[in-house]
Structure 1
């Protein structure tokens, strides 16, 4: 396995796509940095959170996040995480997201990532090794996006309010409460929030609650405890939100996190 690829090796690598793997302990944080190449960051079995100046992304176990070239980002590990990274030369990122996105990793992609990490940095461009990398890039472009981004507004006052909510998210907070705290009418706040964050307040609030819940689920906390802490009337209400957003219930997520 190619492991612990340093920045100098990335800069001097001659292959258009390279892969590496690393192991990290619980609560390890990679300081803000950036790569000249685009990066697909995949991890098991824990949760990763990726932050940039534009927002945050939570990456469930066995899923991945795409980080475009030159985007400064930090990464925090929730639980022990074995990461696999695929680095794509900027000349080959056409068809890939222009912003950070969490991607659903297909079974084929999972196998291709594992095979790519086992290749040397100077793998052969022809034959099996070159075909693995070519198919990996093709499959990467086809991976569906998961709704696990949490954009942050540029407006300082609204940004401070969003950060405070993220520190202690409560699902029952209302638009009127936020509008009053910022000295805005409901209508003005609604338009301003959508313009700043790119989605409605209700959608952002659900994402923030989900963002807060996933690491706690991965650490084995009970669904009931998390649901009540987040201000949901019942575990069933939280489960309904979770299923509508991700397409499966918290129980399935817990199974994946424990695998």
Structure 2
């Protein structure tokens, strides 16, 4: 199925509904949730998925596993998705929090195949066997740490969301503390309690995630300059420490 609204087919007595969708650059899917679990795979483009407790960046050829009932919003940057909407009882092993994962060439081709199925595909025949193999492959996915936590309380949450949208190397802990009308020590302590990390470390990771979104359309050197790193080598080293692979792995 392609460019079909889930609400049109959610009633079908099928455990797994494959739906592919094309999105224009900058398209925003506002906060929503699904009764089913969702595998959101990007065949092209970059996605940013935000929930109440975190933000996940999903480059092309990766996927995010979204638990059933999880409220989320998604920013799509010229994305084509191949999604699966799955009855929760069919995947009792599904994660309870969003997870980004690499997708193998085999699984990518299986998803491509499944997203061409009709709404009433034969779940007991070949099409059903493809779906069964997809679910088997999904159980072995390796998570990729392409996320950052989000505070629940204000003003911390708004500060972080604004920074994710427009990271700025010049922003300091003192700037954030003044905006929050707190002392620097109080702000740092409360931010750490909310996120498990310091404000400076959080902003550093958020900038790297922003770089991840830039890489499909800009060189490593250009991204390093835009993010304020002293050199491409410094950006590459920080990126590799944070995400386990160099920027060229995602370009």
Deviation at 1:36, TM superposition (A): 0.8
Deviations 1:4-54 (A, max 9, x none): 232333421211111011222222222332211111111122111122333
- Flag the structure with more relative contact order, 1 or 2, with Cα contacts below 8 A and sequence separation at least 6: 1
Equivalent position to 1:250, from 222, 247, 250: 247
Any conservation in 2 of the 1:112–1:132 contact (CA below 8 Å)? yes
Distance 1:169 1:117, change over 3 A: same
| Structure 1 counterpart SS, 2:44 | strand
Distance 1:225 1:125, change over 3 A: closer
Alpha carbon RMSD of aligned pairs, Å?
2.5
2:36 alignment partner in structure 1: 37
After superposing the two structures, state which structure 1 stretch, 228-237 or 57-66, moved more: 228-237
Q: 5+ unaligned residues in a row in structure 1: which ranges?
A: 255-259
Deviation at 1:81, TM superposition (A): 2.0
Distance 1:232 1:7, change over 3 A: same
1:68 alignment partner in structure 2: 67
Deviation at 1:181, TM superposition (A): 6.3
1:233 alignment partner in structure 2: 230
After superposing the two structures, state which structure 1 stretch, 119-128 or 81-90, moved more: 119-128
Any conservation in 1 of the 2:149–2:195 contact (CA below 8 Å)? yes
Q: 5+ unaligned residues in a row in structure 2: which ranges?
A: none
d(CA) in 2 for partners of 1:4 and 1:160? 33
Q: Does 1:151 align with 2:181?
A: no
TM-score scaled to structure 1, two decimals?
0.84
2:220 alignment partner in structure 1: 223
Any conservation in 1 of the 2:34–2:70 contact (CA below 8 Å)? yes
More helix by share: 1
Deviations 1:77-130 (A, max 9, x none): 21x322101111021231121112211112222122112112223333334222
Equivalent position to 1:95, from 84, 87, 93: 93
- List structure 1 segments (4+ residues) > 6 angstroms apart after TM superposition: none
Deviations 1:144-195 (A, max 9, x none): 1111122211221222332343344345766576567653464x55553333
Distance 1:238 1:171, change over 3 A: farther
